[in-house]
Amino acid sequence: MGFSGYINDLLRHGKCSFTIHQAQSATSKSLKAIYSSIEHLLAKGELATPAKGFYVIVPPEYQILGCLPAEQFIPYLMEYWQSSYYVGLLTAARYHGATHQAVQVFHVMIEGRSRPQIICGKVKIRFIANRHLAETPVQTISTAKSMLRVSTPEGTAMDLLNYPQQAGGLNHIATVLTELQENIKPDKLLALAESQPNLAWKQRLGYLLEITGAPKLADVLKKYLARQKRVDYILLMPGLEESTKASRNTAWKIIENATIESDI
């Protein structure tokens, strides 16, 4: 089989990516010949390479991007890297209805060490290391070319407060929660809170849910925290010094060292 025939065969079977070793095995061509064919299609914009040794087929409608949309090939890239993952933070929130602000970067949570950001044409993918990856609830979402692992609305809310800097800061998170809250289920939020030992994200999430108009969800966390033996005061904005004028929210045991302003 020639290389062009191999690409056409992949497309006929609904596939959108391949590795250099897969191409060599399927075509029985030399690596030099395969690389030559790849370079030709890269120059035409019909292929893109988001990672070394990994290629995606770019149909005409996506050639303006210079790459395939990340959601279509991320599962195959993570399989190639043999890395567990899920799509999280602002990208996951978009899948759950938080579409008020466009997401410029595709967020992928991974085990172990973080990886450098991928820039493939206009597609940007940021990898965030999560030591507790397996503990975050996920669901599978169908895309045009893949089955994508995405954190659930509840898991997404937890991550937003555990990784505030990667999520654009607390003001941005408050805006996202205004839309995300519609898909957060009280029973699932409680189950997640009970499965996680860290209290800080629950305090901050409850506080933000309360001020963004989700009192029932906030009450779930408030009752949970009331059952704990000890809940210490924490800063609302991690990393920001406590002002002498900062007030203390006794309900959530939060030192209000910042003012939250949602865009909605």
Q: What is the pLDDT of residues 205-223, one digit of tens each?
A: 999 999 999 999 999 999 9
Assess whether 9 and 109 both reside in one domain.
no
Q: Is 262 inside a domain boundary?
A: no
What order of strands is seen across the sheet that includes strand 54-57? 17-19, 54-57, 47-51
Assess whether 245 and 129 both reside in one domain.
yes
Assess whether 31 and 84 both reside in one domain.
no
pLDDT category at 264 given cuts 50, 70, 90 is low
Assess whether 38 and 120 both reside in one domain.
no
Distance from C-alpha of 184 to C-alpha of 193, rounded to nearest angstrom: 13
Q: Which of 56, 47, 61, 99 minimizes the C-alpha distance to 74?
A: 56
Q: Is the pLDDT of residue 29 over 90?
A: no
Q: How confident is the model at residue 238, as a pLDDT?
A: 82
Of 62, 81, 99, the domain-final residue: 62
Q: Is 261 inside a domain boundary?
A: no
pLDDT category at 263 given cuts 50, 70, 90 is low
Assess whether 187 and 205 both reside in one domain.
yes
Quickly list H helices, the chain. Answer: 3-12, 20-27, 31-44, 70-81, 89-95, 153-162, 170-180, 186-195, 200-211, 215-226
Of 14, 44, 62, the domain-final residue: 62
Q: Is 140 inside a domain boundary?
A: yes
Q: Is 214 inside a domain boundary?
A: yes
Q: Is 107 inside a domain boundary?
A: yes
Distance from C-alpha of 80 to C-alpha of 6, rounded to nearest angstrom: 19
Q: Is 136 inside a domain boundary?
A: yes
pLDDT category at 81 given cuts 50, 70, 90 is very high
Q: Is the pLDDT of residue 100 over 80?
A: no
Assess whether 211 and 81 both reside in one domain.
yes
Assess whether 233 and 137 both reside in one domain.
yes
Pairing of strands 234-235, 254-256: parallel
Assess whether 197 and 148 both reside in one domain.
yes
Q: What does the pLDDT average to over 108-137?
A: 95
Which structural domain range is residue 146 located in?
70-256
